Amino acid sequence: MSKANTVVVLDFETTGLSPTYGDRAIEIGAVLIENGEIKDRFQELMNPGRPIDGFIESYTGITNDMLKDARPCKEVMSQFAGFIGDYNLVAHNASFDKRFLDAELKRVSKQYTGKFACSMLLSRRLYQGAADHKLATLVRYAKIPSDGNFHRALYDSEMTAKLWLSMLEHINSHYGLPSIPFTLIQKLSKTPKHKVSQYLNR
DNA sequence: TGCCAGGCCCTCTTTAGGGCCTT
């Protein structure tokens, strides 16, 4: 599979916000996009080794009962390392998912070489008219069909993937760029908002 | 057991503060 035309879009559900303060992953979901199409999927719950609190149960719909028989994080993450391989990676608010990916893979002595891009940072440049840049809001803004079942890992990764493809199509239709290298998307995601057109029209 | 983040980005900025996003 061509690395240049492939990205893995991933999403974690977790026990909280900070792996450096002991939070763990409880579910990973991911889709593999090749040449603009979803070609593969990965989804699994994982047992973090301790109970999750009521807020997380309510927020995700993942219960302690569901996690009781799930495989431990180390088994799931070792397998997931094989799924992401050396592909580049995308997530919505990628700094969050990158922290958990790094922390969980470090526990199983796995590494990855792909680079991250962030769909939220890109959307702040391309979809400046959106009411906000939450994933659900952007899915509605981009008119992506959705049943509204957010906050599960595979569903959110699929919606992020479709949002990502929507933004690539936006770049093509507005700026005549049918394909744009991943490294340029990363740079675009850090470009000052008022310079986006200048950046893409050069 | 319970504690709890951090990068981006704007502005009443840069010797700072606070909202947005993710769970």
Whether A99 is covered by a domain: the verdict is yes
* Integer CA distances (angstroms), A88 to A118, A183, A194, in order: 11, 10, 27
What CATH number corresponds to the domain at position A115? 3.30.420.10
Domain that holds residue A33: 7-192
Q: How many CB atoms lie within 10 A of CB A159?
A: 26
Percent of chain A with pLDDT over 70: 99
Summarised one tens digit per residue, pLDDT across range A96-105 is 999 999 999 9
Summarised one tens digit per residue, pLDDT across range A108-166 is 999 999 999 999 999 999 999 999 999 999 999 999 999 988 999 999 999 999 999 99
What distance lies between CA A71 and its chain's CA centroid?
22
Q: Which nucleotide is nearest to A193 (CA to C1')?
A: B9
Q: Give strand B nucleotides closer than 7 A to any protein Cβ.
A: 1-10, 20-23
Residue A98 Cβ under 7 A from any strand B atom: no
Mean pLDDT of A165-186: 94
The reported pLDDT for the residue numbered A202 is 74
β-bridge partners, A9: A31, A90
- Nearest protein residue, CA measured to C1' of B4: A21
Whether A202 is covered by a domain: the verdict is no
On the question of pLDDT at A2 being above 80, the answer is: no
Q: Buried (b) or exposed (e) across A177-199, using 16+ Cβ within 10 A?
A: eeeeebeebbebbebeeeebeee
Q: Are strands A6-14 and A88-91 parallel, antiparallel or unpaired?
A: parallel
- State the Cα–Cα distance between residues A171 and A156, nearest whole angstrom: 22
Whether A14 is covered by a domain: the verdict is yes
CA of A132 to C1' of B10 (A): 14
- State the Cα–Cα distance between residues A76 and A83, nearest whole angstrom: 11
Residue A135 Cβ under 7 A from any strand B atom: yes
Whether A2 is covered by a domain: the verdict is no
| CB distance A27 to A44 below 8 Å | yes
Mean pLDDT of A79-83: 98
Whether A198 is covered by a domain: the verdict is no
Annotation marks residue A174 as catalytic? no
- Mapped onto helix, strand or coil, the DSSP state of residue A101 is helix
The reported pLDDT for the residue numbered A4 is 80
Whether A31 is covered by a domain: the verdict is yes
The reported pLDDT for the residue numbered A201 is 87
| CB distance A117 to A185 below 8 Å | yes
Specify the number of domains making up chain A.
1
Whether A201 is covered by a domain: the verdict is no
Q: Which nucleotide is nearest to A26 (CA to C1')?
A: B23
On the question of pLDDT at A1 being above 70, the answer is: no
The closest alpha carbon to A82, from A38, A122, A138, A42, belongs to A42
* Dihedral angle sign, alpha carbons of residues A157, A147, A18, A49: negative
Residue A24 Cβ under 7 A from any strand B atom: no
CA of A190 to C1' of B17 (A): 22
- State the Cα–Cα distance between residues A148 and A173, nearest whole angstrom: 27
Whether A1 is covered by a domain: the verdict is no
What average pLDDT does the structure give for chain A?
95
